[in-house]
Structure 1
Amino acid sequence: MKTLIKSLQIERFRAFQNLRVDGFGKVNLITGKNNSGKSSLLEAVRILASGGSLKTIFDILNYREELGSSVELDKTYLPTEIAPFCNLFHDFPDISSSKNGFSIISTGSLPESISRISVSINWFTRKVDTESDRQTIFYEPASRDLFDDMEPFPALSLDISGRKRVVPLDRLQRRYPIRNEVDTSPIPCVYLDPFSSRSTSQLGALWDAISLTDAEKDIVKALQVISPDIQAVSMIGSDERSARPRTAIARSARFPSPLPLRSFGDGVNRLFGIILSLCNARNGVLLVDEIENGLHYSVQTEMWRTIFALAKHMNVQVFATSHSWDCVHAFQQAASESPEDGILVRLSRKGESTIPTIFTEQELEIVTRDQIEVR
């Protein structure tokens, strides 16, 4: 099975002025110090793999609490509809310039329709085509000399493998239409943040997608790494406001009746979220930020073994971040059993540049043996 994303070229996205990473594998662990760009790399992959989904862009900004605020930058006031989206661009864009966008380009077997994307903020005017039977609204780039006569507005200009789209920023600030937008990406892309597993109700939709399939057995087998007594897992409750909230429950050999999965501790719930997300990413991409959260070091090797096996079986490319030495060591132990699949990428900052260093399994074995710092 070919690697979906073999290399990645990121320009002017967040802290990345120009970053190129070559040689990704089936399972990739991204390490580096705080503020080295680990989470931003996941965001770039997420935007690309989702086909430039507006909902994905909205969710990224919302998670970082970047929505709904205005900023003052170099004595230039940026209004509410513009400011949040400027966070996506390196050093904030000059919206009076045409060179203010970011781009993400990949090589590999990712579908050509989503293998490259560029996004910029520009001013547009709204036009109406009255010559056709049905009036059609379209957008044109605004010319500076027309600003006095027209009503220009800022918009995201997206180019997704040659398909162009203009989205007024005030529309992106209206949360619910964007939240309900249908994902049209040709591959699944599942993202798990460091805290998603704290509430099993957040994982209800993922459970519904694999319920009553063979993936249930894979999830139970993974949970037995931490709690061997777990025999089955299910989800009860409803998303309806007046009903009992969605809750994951588990049947255990130690208890006469099922218990909430939360009763088994943070480690079980974190692993539940990871494996459930992986099963939902079949033939696509799984992104996990701070994968070791809530997991004791003693179970991390088995966790990685499970991820390697399921990623190969379900044809999922995994990108995970960590700054834990225990996690790196556990990753190396599991990768040694699948040497062609595991790659560690360390990101380090040098001035304004981000430098990636690639470690294959053989190099990673030397790193862990000699305890060379790669976090």
Structure 2
Amino acid sequence: MSRIHNLHIENFRVISRLDYAPHQVNIICGRNNSGKSALLDAILINTQGYIIRKPSISRLFGIELDRDTTMYTIKNGEKEAVINSDINTVTIYRSLEDCKNKDPKRHEMIQRTLYKHILDILEGDDEYKEKYITIIFDTIDYLITISEERCEVLPYVSVDSTRFTTLMAELDRSSGTNKKDEQRSIVKARWLRKTLSSFRFRIKESNAEDDKPITPVNKLSHEEKLSLGKMTDEDIHHLEKYIKDQNLVKNLERLTQENVLYNKDSGIETIPISSHGDGFIALLSTLHHLIRSRNGILLIEEPENHLHPRYLGVLIETLFSYCEELNVQVFMTTHSFDLIKIALEYPENVKEKEMLLISKMTTDGTTVEKFDYTVDEGLRVMNELYLDLRGI
């Protein structure tokens, strides 16, 4: 398993500079806007080597262009962000120009690859293609994410979107394109969608001997907690055993992809998983993602959501036992003092104590700081953690 032992972050979102030496089970707490989610996302980007574009209301010709992702990925006023770990080295540039100024050779390769990528998308005469590409590079810029093995370019509108629309319309008029030509409109829409989509490519030749093993990385968001998704037979077997071992529900006979079967006096009763309580589903979803992260990393946003206090204890016990069994490193953010207290009081031996690290994020509105606590240290500052989480 590739595990993160050291992480270094510079100029990523609200984080100016941060060094992190995580353990196997990591709980990140702190007030709102203190950098918890930024730390979680930095880990995700570092391990994946690219940025996941979020839905946005910014559109061109019906195509989503997430300007927020590009504007706020890099700390305000800075031109690049760095996220380095034992697993990967990642640099993010705000624009092609920023990449050119810092790494001209890499910029030349990216520009050449991007040009060819757009050219391959287009159809028609060469003159039209050249004019189209000129408009793209004059009005669209790219957030550049470079890792050890690949590069991603994420397009965003660098000028007023009306200028882009106007220039494209003028190009159509000059090329004699009839706006009523439905087929041409469909082709153009396809060009734009492909041109304005994120684009990833390898930056070094693939060599089986040199390639690092891929680390499975999963992120469990708020939305995904209430959806189990597609499960393999092995996943279902693990979840069924888990429910029985933890006695989460009584009289469980069998678990399937969509249902829970109960052994009742009147016979077998089948109830859809979706008809169970949110806490039960969220707990199963967490375990499902844990199983999927075998020999890898799992990121969890506020696991306490939807969970009854009893389930928090079950969750912590599950994380300690399954993380070791499945060889998974877990990072989770939380606002729950109960979760932290249960986690700090759970370890019974040195090995279990060494698995856990509590990190408190703080900010004065400008600078983000992180304070790490081992189990013994966390128990000593329990009251401080309680007051911080209560906003006192």
TM-score higher than 0.5 here?
yes
The answer on whether the counterparts of 1:5 and 1:106 sit within 8 Å (CA) in structure 2 is: yes
Tell me, what secondary structure is at the counterpart of 2:354? coil
The equivalent of 1:132 in structure 2 is none
Tell me which of 318, 326, 338 is aligned to 1:306: 318
Count of equivalent residues: 312
Tell me which of 255, 268, 279 is aligned to 1:233: 255
Tell me which of 83, 86, 91 is aligned to 1:104: 83
The equivalent of 2:67 in structure 1 is 83
1:349 is aligned to 2:363: yes
Tell me which of 114, 136, 145 is aligned to 1:158: 145
Partner Cα separation in structure 2 for residue 128 and residue 106 of structure 1: 27
The answer on whether the counterparts of 2:31 and 2:335 sit within 8 Å (CA) in structure 1 is: yes
Structure with greater strand percent: 1
The equivalent of 1:35 in structure 2 is 33
Q: Mark the CA change 1:30 to 1:3 in structure 2 (over 3 Å): closer, same or farther.
A: farther
The Cα shift of 1:137 comes to: 5.3
- State the Cα deviation string for residues 144-165 of structure 1 (Å, max 9, x = none): xxxxx95524123222026445
The Cα shift of 1:176 comes to: 11
The equivalent of 1:251 in structure 2 is 261
Structure 2 stretches lacking a partner, 5+ long: 98-109, 120-132, 158-190, 202-211
Partner Cα separation in structure 2 for residue 369 and residue 36 of structure 1: 19
Structure with greater helix percent: 2
Partner Cα separation in structure 1 for residue 192 and residue 360 of structure 2: 34
The Cα shift of 1:221 comes to: 4.1
1:315 is aligned to 2:327: yes
The answer on whether the counterparts of 2:259 and 2:273 sit within 8 Å (CA) in structure 1 is: yes
Amino acid at match of 2:38: S
The Cα shift of 1:68 comes to: 3.3
The equivalent of 2:6 in structure 1 is 7
1:178-327 superposed matches below 5 A: 186-198=214-226, 200=227, 203-205=228-230, 207-208=231-232, 210-211=234-235, 215-221=238-244, 224-235=246-257, 248-254=258-264, 256-327=268-339
The answer on whether the counterparts of 1:14 and 1:40 sit within 8 Å (CA) in structure 2 is: yes
The RMSD of aligned alpha carbons is 3.8
Amino acid at match of 1:8: L
Partner Cα separation in structure 2 for residue 30 and residue 257 of structure 1: 41
Which of the pair has more CA radius of gyration?
A: 2
1:35-184 superposed matches below 5 A: 35-52=33-50, 54=51, 57-58=52-53, 61-62=54-55, 67-69=56-58, 81=65, 83-92=67-76, 100-107=79-86, 110=87, 115-123=88-96, 127=112, 150-151=134-135, 152=137, 153-161=140-148, 163-166=150-153, 168-169=155-156
1:361 is aligned to 2:389: no
The Cα shift of 1:15 comes to: 1.2
The Cα shift of 1:14 comes to: 1.4
Tell me, what secondary structure is at the counterpart of 1:31? strand
The equivalent of 2:124 in structure 1 is none
Partner Cα separation in structure 2 for residue 42 and residue 172 of structure 1: 32
Amino acid at match of 2:260: A
User: TM-score with structure 1 length normalisation?
Assistant: 0.71
Partner Cα separation in structure 2 for residue 4 and residue 164 of structure 1: 22
The Cα shift of 1:335 comes to: 3.6
Tell me, what secondary structure is at the counterpart of 2:95? strand
The equivalent of 1:146 in structure 2 is none
The Cα shift of 1:300 comes to: 1.3
Partner Cα separation in structure 2 for residue 343 and residue 336 of structure 1: 15
Partner Cα separation in structure 1 for residue 229 and residue 354 of structure 2: 34
The Cα shift of 1:86 comes to: 2.3
